[in-house]
Amino acid sequence: MTVDIKAIGIGLIVFLLIGSIGFLVLAFTMEAGRIMLLPLILPYAGAAIAGGLTGHHARRGKIFSAILLSCAIAVGFGLLNFAWSAVGMPADLGGLKGSAWVAILSLPISLLLCVGSALLIVWKQRYTNT
């Protein structure tokens, strides 16, 4: 199996940027006393976008690259949870142990989002003329 590290890096950077934007927007809206739905969806949308970009930019091993990206994104979800509890915001699974559980439990959804969007990109590249 070949893995395209550059494509995984691009996907991971995109996920961390979009997840951080969602983190900041959610932190500032919670301070104002209201919670919006968009910042809660942004990390998941970032995982899907990152998987699609990895599938698009990988030269070989597109699906395997998306699988490895989803593992890194699961760790990213754990890091976002740890950062959320570290700044003093209420978290159900706070601290280091809780963030490890978040990383483990977010692996299936990150697999679904990353591999699903990479499969859509591979299908589009294979069966259309673009």
How do residues 22-36 score in pLDDT, each as one tens digit? 888 887 777 666 667
Under the banding of pLDDT at 50, 70 and 90, the label for residue 104 is very high
> Is 58 exposed, middle or buried, given 0-12, 13-18 or 19+ CB atoms closer than 10 A?
buried
Q: Is residue 127 part of a domain?
A: no
What band does 47 get if pLDDT is binned at 50, 70 and 90?
Answer: very high
Q: Is residue 80 part of a domain?
A: yes
Answer yes or no: is 104 within a domain. Answer: yes
128 inside domain: no
Determine which helix (DSSP H) or strand (DSSP E) holds 1, and give its type and residue range.
none
- Assess contact for 15 and 73: CB atoms under 8 A: yes
- The residue behind tokens 């006393």 is 33
Residue 35 is assigned to a structural domain of this protein: yes
Q: Is residue 52 part of a domain?
A: yes
Dihedral of CA 115/69/105/17: which sign? Answer: negative
Residue 129: inside a domain: no
Please state the domain count of the chain.
1
Prediction pTM value: 0.84
- Compute CA 80 distance to the chain's CA centroid, rounded to the nearest angstrom: 10
In a domain, 130, yes or no: no
Q: Which domain holds residue 62?
A: 5-122
